[in-house]
Amino acid sequence: MYLYELPTTGAVSFSDFCDDYSSDKAYTHHIPEATQTRANLRGILKESKRTDHGEKDFLALIKIVEEYLPQLRGIMVCATHDEIGLKTEPTFSWRTTLTANIMRSSPRMDVPGLYADYAFSLLTNAFALSNLAYSIVTSVGIYEHDRAISDADRKAKDEKLNVAVDFLCRASGIFTFISNTVISEWETNRTGPPGPQRPPDVSREVNSALAKMSLADAQTLAIRRLLSKSAYESNVSPGPPLPKSHPPPALLAKLHIECASFYSSARLLAKTPGSTKSSSGKGLMGSSPKEVSADLRHYLGNQATLHSALSHKWLGVEAGEKGGTERGGDAVGFLQWAKKELDEIKDTGKFPSFGQADKDKEERWKATVTEELEKVNLFFKYYKKMNDTLHFQSVPTQQELQSRIPGGRIAIPAKPYSPPLPAFGPGSLEYTRRKAEQLDIDSAQMDGKDEPRAPPAPGGNYAGAGSYF
């Protein structure tokens, strides 16, 4: 799983550029409330920056972002309906944590418009959800390898993995919403002159890449959850034959194929902004176009290769366990292919090292690949011996095996994101209630009026007036 660096943001006072144009000044108190809620967001992001990962409160951050988004949407919708006027186009300062930069520091960028703050706030929410999933997975550890764990404890940790999967699917939905909806609306609603080039963090391609990556990370956990019981039962005697509780190898192969496809597509999308240049070869800010950080691209490439290898592993196991004599060569060929891929990423899958955290990350990666390589070697030796002594089938070439690879299969879909209602202004519950109350008052006033009376008959007030003979 990928651990995001959280951004930070500069201070903003909405009162500096917002005027209440409503007839009854209904939003005067909402504008400073929006400023306060955003200040809370800025504060927790600054605090998180100074806190070690194990002590970061991602749940509190998610709560504060979700409190701020309705306030920001209230400002946005009121501005659209001319109920709040903008004296000038607001500018928001955010650190771009996905942008490649020398010395690996997060550059601060001023981005104009309310949609800029909307996009970065949503991005922060998705980062926090993903990091919360990462923390859950870290907390459960590699419990499948604990031979002393009880069945109840194992199931409880399985459930925690399910919670992490849910958070990742929600993050994927937010990234998709930014890519498909927010950026389009941002471009449509831009009121000022062309601004600076948007950083990769809030580009369509990168958010689409992050959506695919989150879904692939979720699918990876779903596979782990699926293998939990059989992995525990294989602790005593790893390798073939598979325990009865083991999921079908063909299903696992298809799940890993889909993961590899997601990671590979995400890597290509993440590289897109860096390959796009204007005619002068420079971005709108007068500098070379920004690229996504090497760390993220490296992660996507490694994961794509790892899941490709694991798909070949399970296709080999499927051939060896279910294929009988006729597929003895396929089993050897697929496992040989998986072994080759794992050997390559074990030696070349190094991370750019900028400190102890990166060294730890590289060590964890090596341990993961080494463990998978050991498992593949167990199956490879077993099926090769079977083929050499019983089946005597020729081993297909890699090109021949390529034509036998099935399509992928998704384990769990993303959760579509629905933006919150504005806290105030058109479309909000408060606005609807005020309009309904006004209609009730108007209706009551109409109902309280007397029926129009006929004008009095002409005549004076003298005795006998109106009596004519």
Q: Burial level of 466, CB count in 10 A (0-12/13-18/19+)?
A: exposed
What is the Cα–Cα distance from 63 to 60, expressed in whole angstroms? 5
Buried-exposed string 126-148: b where 16+ CB fall within 10 A, e elsewhere: bbbbbbbbbbbbeebeebbeeee
237-272+291-396 topology per CATH: 1.25.40
> What percentage of the chain carries pLDDT values higher than 70?
84
Pairing of strands 84-86, 18-20: antiparallel
Question: Which of 260, 265, 257 lies closest to 206, judged by CA?
Answer: 265
Share of the chain above pLDDT 90, in %: 64
The model's pTM: 0.87
pLDDT mean over 70-79? 96
Name the band, by pLDDT with cuts 50, 70 and 90, for residue 286: very low
CA 163/CA 225 separation, integer angstroms: 11
Q: Which range (37-51, 105-119, 175-189, 338-352) has the least confidence?
A: 338-352
Give me the residue label for tokens 């691209």. Answer: 297
Cβ burial, residue 251 (10 Å; 0-12/13-18/19+) = middle
Residue 255 has pLDDT above 90, yes or no: yes
Residue 9 per-residue DSSP state: B
For the chain, the distance separating the N- and C-terminal CA atoms, rounded to the nearest angstrom, is 108
β-partners of residue 9 are: 94
Mean pLDDT for the stretch of residues 304-328: 93
Q: What is the mean pLDDT of residues 54-71?
A: 94
Exposed e or buried b per residue across 336-345, where buried means at least 16 C-beta atoms within 10 angstroms of its C-beta: bbbbebbeeb
pLDDT digits (tens, 9 = 90+) for 370-382: 999 999 999 999 9
Which of the listed CATH numbers 1.25.40.280, 3.40.50.2300, 3.30.479.30, 3.40.50.850 matches domain 1-236+416-432?
Answer: 1.25.40.280
Dist CA 440 CA 449 (whole Å)? 15
User: Which one has a higher pLDDT value, 261 or 463?
Assistant: 261
Q: What is the pLDDT of residue 448?
A: 58
pLDDT confidence of residue 444: 63
Check pLDDT > 60 for residue 103: no
Which residues make up the CATH 1.25.40.280 domain(s) of the chain? 1-236+416-432, 237-272+291-396
pLDDT tens per residue, range 223-243 = 999 999 888 888 767 778 888
Tokens of 110: 């001023």
